[in-house]
Amino acid sequence: MGAYVTEVPLRWSDMDAFGHVNHARTVTLLEEARAGLLFNEAERRGHGGMAEGMVVARLSVDYRSPVEYRMGAVQVRMSVRELRTASFVVDYAVAAGGDDSVATAETMMVPYDLRAGRPRRLTEGERSFLAEWVLDPLVNEEQRIA
C-alpha cells in the first residue's frame, strides 16, 4: 500500500526558548501521528483493538533541521517494518516548511493487555492491517514466516 501520511498542526506551546519545537514536543507530535494510523485508521478498518493496549518499547529520533512554530504543521510519513508476533517498528519521516526531511524516527511498539498487565501477541487482524504499511513486500513475507 505504501506509507501512511498525515499532517499534525504545531501549537504555540510546542515551541521552546530558542524558537523551535522542543524535543519532548516532537515526540508528542510523532505520537499524535502514530495514533492516526494505529488507532483511527485501524478502527476505521475494523481493527479497533490496538487502541485498547499498545506501548512504546523503544524510541529513537534523528534531527536534520529545527522545526519552527511558524511552519504551521509537520507532515509525517509512516511505514511499518520488523513485523513480528508480538512487536513491530514504526518508521517516521517528518517534513515541514518545504524541507522534505526535518527528522526521522522509529518506535518499537508492543501490543499490551491492560487487564493482565503484560505484553500480548498481535491478533491476525492486527498483523494483516500492519502488513499493509510495510513498504517492502519481500521483507513482509520473510517476517510472516519468522
| Band of residue 136 on the pLDDT scale cut at 50, 70, 90 | low
Q: To the nearest whole number, what is the mean pLDDT of the chain? A: 86
What range does the domain containing 62 cover? 4-145
Does the pLDDT value for residue 142 go beyond 50?
no
Amino acid 21: pLDDT: 83
Amino acid 98: pLDDT: 79
Cα angle 49-50-55, degrees, rounded to a multiple of 5: 140
Does the pLDDT value for residue 119 go beyond 70?
yes
Query: 92, 105 in Cβ contact below 8 A?
Result: yes
In the chain, how many domains are there? 1
Residue 40 belongs to a domain with what CATH number? 3.10.129.10
Segment 109-128 shows an average pLDDT of 93
pTM value? Answer: 0.85
User: In 10 A of CB 9, how many CB atoms?
Assistant: 10
